[in-house]
Chains A and B, each alone.
Chain A
Amino acid sequence: MDNKNQATTGKKQSQWTLRNIILIALIAIFTGIIFWGAGFLYTALTVALTPFGMAPFANDLLMGLWCMAGPLTGFIIRTFGSAFLGEFLGASVEVFLGGQWGAGAFISGLVQGIASELGFTLTAYKRYDWFGLNASIFTTVVVTFAWDMIRNGYDKFSLPLLLGLFVTRYISTFIFAGVLTKMIVKLLDRSKAINL
């Protein structure tokens, strides 16, 4: 494939070319649409867990899936802001497909975007490896959890329940935003479709 990533060949140049912006948006939309297909899972889990009052676990179990676009775009376009833009646009897709969250999805997108971007910022956009990915996972979990303490009233739960939710969210984010992202990046790397 002759789609060599032109922007990465000139390291000094800004990565924010028209092509890369479109690429980030397209990847965000693709991932947004793929989880859209898994949307029934969220509703089914919520319905199953509601009688036990455990519905927030549905949110935390799937959190990793919703936070995948950020690390993925952050890894492919290695510059300041790409993880944020990817994650935010991924959440916006859901708004326009008519999601369950309405304006809430825009705000979640902002929070998740800042959360996953922060991990790359902490490593100064230099560590594009397992460590860097884990930094992004860590900030994603902590920031989004803090946000849910406020927005979804998690702060009114008892400590054991809170810990349970936190661990669930961490595992979910680790699997989807971590392991799955790493596998995807590996496939991309091997295919030489893009210069990572």
Chain B
Amino acid sequence: MNPGMKLLLVMLIALEISFTQSLIVNCILIAVSFVYILTQHIRMKALLGIIFWPLFPAVGLFVSQWLYGSAGIHFAWILFTRIYAYVFLGATFTLTSSITDLSLTLEQDFHLPSKFAYGVLAAFNLMPKIVEEVQIIKTSALMRGEALHFWSPKLYFKSILSAIQWSQNLAEAMTSHGFVEDYERTHYKIIRITALDWTLFFVLLIIVQVLLFFIRY
């Protein structure tokens, strides 16, 4: 499915289950997403991660709602499954779509100005370098006997200085490669929203509506 449509669908459904309270629909969404993820050849580690990590917030919310909530254990279960539904729905997108395809389709099909699509894409592609840079900033501070934590303004200050410098370099690099802001572009890789995408989008969305309408438990 087209990554943009997929993201939109996932977000719409996630938004809907935030406002509705149906334990069974949550479970169905989790099950369907899980089966979909299994068919996509995902690494075992990623799969275990999305099962294990949400357990903390889910159990936390469950217990507090159970002990202090006025709506009883059924509502506690809804919140528990809601967290898993978010994560599994999200995973159907994040584990299967590339950020590059997403920004390409956002630009070509959703008419996002190209400077946003490519600017943000360029920044996201630097993510591994940014992880490294944060480490470098922390280490070089340690060499001066200064420990920087997430509450230290200096850590953010130095990060922003790097961000300023990198943004300048990236923008110049893009311009020198022929990128012109606010100008019509031709595309090497063309991503279209096909009839199949539209059909899938609406069929799935309607199914969720029907389920939410009829299954109230």
Contacts and interface: CB of A to CB of B under 8 A. Distances in A.
Nearest to A37: B150
Contact of A150 (B19, B57, B130): B19
Contact of B134 (A34, A183, A187, A191): A34
Looking at chain B, what size class is its interface with the partner chain? 35 or more
A157 B65 CA distance: 8
Contacts of B157: 184, 187-188, 191
Interface in B111-146: 115-116, 118-120, 122-124, 126-127, 130-131, 133-134
Given A22-B171, A105-B90, A30 B163 contact: yes
Given A18-B179, A152-B79, A95 B90 contact: yes
B173 to A, nearest CB: 10
A20 to B, nearest CB: 8
A23 B167 contact: yes
By secondary structure, the A interface counts as: helix
A102 B164 contact: no
Contacts of A53: 63-64, 66-68
By secondary structure, the B interface counts as: helix
Given A18-B174, A19-B171, A100-B57, A106 B11 contact: yes
Interface stretch (B91-99, B189-197, B202-210): B91-99
A187 to B, nearest CB: 4
Contacts of B89: 102-103
B32 to A, nearest CB: 14
A193 interface: yes
Interface string A11-27: 00000111111110111
Nearest to B151: A180
Contact of B65 (A34, A106, A156): A156
Interface string B51-79: 00110110111011111111100010011
B124 A29 contact: yes
A30 B133 CA distance: 9
A63 to B, nearest CB: 13
Contacts of A104: 14, 83, 86-87, 90
Given A33-B134, A104-B83, A191 B161 contact: yes
B160 A30 contact: yes
Contacts of B69: 153, 156-157
A38 B90 contact: no
A49 interface: yes
A150 B68 CA distance: 16
Given A18-B115, A18-B174, A56-B64, A26 B49 contact: no
A16 B171 CA distance: 13
Contact of A23 (B11, B60, B164): B164
Interface string B159-180: 1111111111011001100010
A36 B126 CA distance: 16
B60 A31 contact: no
Given A56-B64, A150-B19, A156-B71, 14 more contacts: A3-B164, A22-B171, A29-B126, A37-B134, A38-B150, A42-B56, A55-B61, A89-B120, A101-B57, A102-B50, A102-B87, A153-B65, A153-B75, A161-B68
Which 3 residue pairs are nearest across A and B when measured between Cβ atoms? A55-B60, A102-B90, A103-B90
15 contacts: A21-B116, A23-B167, A29-B127, A34-B159, A55-B60, A56-B60, A56-B64, A96-B124, A98-B50, A102-B87, A105-B90, A106-B7, A107-B86, A153-B79, A188-B160
